[in-house]
Amino acid sequence: MSHPCATRYPLVLVPGMLGFIRLVLFPYWYGIVDALRRGGAVVVAVQVSPLNSSEVRGEQLLLRIEEILRETGAEKVNLIGHSQGSLTARYAAARRPDLVASVTSVAGPNHGSELADYLARHYPHDSAKGRVLAALLWLVGALMSLLETGYRGPKLPVDIPAGHQSLTSEGVALFNQRYPQGLPDTWGGQGAEEVDGVRYYSWSGTLQPGKTDRGRNLFDGTHRSCRLFARTFVREVGHCDGMVGRYSSHLGTVIGDEFPLDHFDIVNQSIGLVGKGAEPIRLFVEHAARLKAAGI
C-alpha cells in the first residue's frame, strides 16, 4: 500500500485567531486531517489560546510539542500553521529549533495584516468602539469554548488587545526583529529555505473574481466576510485573501501565493464550501509528500 503522506516526523496543525480543534462535530481543518491520515501521515491538530499574543500561544505550543514527542516517540515535528498559527509556529521553531523539522505558513500574516491595521486605527482598544469590538470577540470566544469538543486541556488565557496587536504590521514588525527565520530580504521575495536546521515553507491565496466568488462560495457566508474585509486593504489591494496580503504571507520557500482561495477556504472551512476549481485539501496532501521527499 502506498503512503504518500508518511512523513518522518508528525504533522502538527496550529490554528489561527479564534481557532479550535472541533466545534461540536465540525473540525477546524475540515477534511484535511482525514486526507493526510489516509495518506499515512501521523497528524495532530492542537489548540492554543484563541485570543492572545503569538508569543503566549507559542509557549503553549512548545508544551504541546513536548507532549506529542513523548506520545509518539518522534524526535521532531513538522509545524503547519494557519493565519496567526504561522506566527505561533515560527516562535516555537525559533525558540526550540531542535524540536522542529519544518514550519509551513498557510495564509500567515508574516508582515502583518492590513485588516488588523484598519481595526487598530478605527477601533482603538481604549475607545468606546474598541471596547465594543473586544466584548464581541470575547463573547464569540466564550461561545466557541463552550462548543469545543476536541480540546480537553486546562483553560487557556485570553488577552484580546495582545492578540490584535500581534497581527498588526507594527506588532509583527517587532516580532520579526526577534524571530526573523525564513523571512524574505525583499518585499515579495522568498526567504531562506533552511535556518538552524528548520525548513521554512509558505502558501496563500487571493480573492479572484470569476473563481473565488463562484462555485460553492455562493453559499458561504465567510467568503462574503472576506470580500468585505478586503476593502480595508491599501498596500495589497486586489492581492489579498480578505485578511492577509499575498506578499505579506511569504516565508521561506513560497509554494504559491495566488491560489483561488480566501482566508477560510485555504483550510477548507465552512463545511468545505470553496470557490470554483479550488482544491485546498490537495495542497496539504501534496505538501506532506514534499516533506516526505525532503526526509522530514
Among candidate residues 241, 257, 262, 265, the one labeled active-site is 241
Fill in the amino acid letter for 227.
Answer: R
Q: Is the Cα torsion angle 111, 112, 118, 124 positive or negative in sign? A: negative
Helix (H, G, I), strand (E, B) or coil at 121: helix
As a whole number of angstroms, the distance between CA 109 and CA 22 comes to 23
287 is catalytic: no
DSSP 63-128: HHHHHHHHHH--S-EEEEEETHHHHHHHHHHHH-GGGEEEEEEES--TT--HHHHHHHHHS-TTSH
Among candidate residues 223, 263, 265, 270, the one labeled active-site is 263
Residues in the chain: 296
83 is catalytic: yes
As a whole number of angstroms, the distance between CA 284 and CA 23 comes to 21
270 is catalytic: no
Among candidate residues 54, 83, 202, 270, the one labeled active-site is 83
As a whole number of angstroms, the distance between CA 19 and CA 1 comes to 34
- The DSSP 8-state label assigned to residue 149 in this structure reads -
- Residue 253 pairs in a beta bridge with 201
Q: Are 101 and 8 in contact (CB under 8 A)?
A: yes
Q: Are 183 and 58 in contact (CB under 8 A)?
A: no
Q: Are 114 and 120 in contact (CB under 8 A)?
A: no
Residues labelled as active-site residues: 83, 241, 263
